[in-house]
Amino acid sequence: MRKYLFIISRLVIFLLAIIFFSGCVKDTCKHAFSYTLYLPVYKTTAEVRANIKSNPDKEIQEPGKIVFAW
């Protein structure tokens, strides 16, 4: 029984060492990724207000009643 416990403990220690030392392996990544960078465009308050356009008033074609139901 002690022999199996000794073998299992050595195996566990070996596996833990592999897991802990796997972070020391250098990663040689040779892939290049391309991406598009979007930058926000800001306007001044005067520019925004200058671009606001509205249509002239229109006559009501079919006047009706507006009913609010409580």
> Is residue 65 one of the residues assigned to a domain?
no
In the chain (70 residues long), the average pLDDT of successive 10-residue segments reads: 85 89 74 90 93 85 74
**pLDDT at residue 22, as a whole number:** 76
DSSP symbols for 8-56: HHHHHHHHHHHHHHGGGSPP-----------------HHHHHHT---PP
**pLDDT at residue 1, as a whole number:** 76
Look at the chain and report how many structural domains it folds into: 1
> Is residue 69 one of the residues assigned to a domain?
no
> Is residue 1 one of the residues assigned to a domain?
yes
**pLDDT at residue 66, as a whole number:** 76
**pLDDT at residue 61, as a whole number:** 79
> Is residue 38 one of the residues assigned to a domain?
yes
> Is residue 47 one of the residues assigned to a domain?
yes
> Which domain, by its residues, includes 24?
1-51
> Is residue 35 one of the residues assigned to a domain?
yes
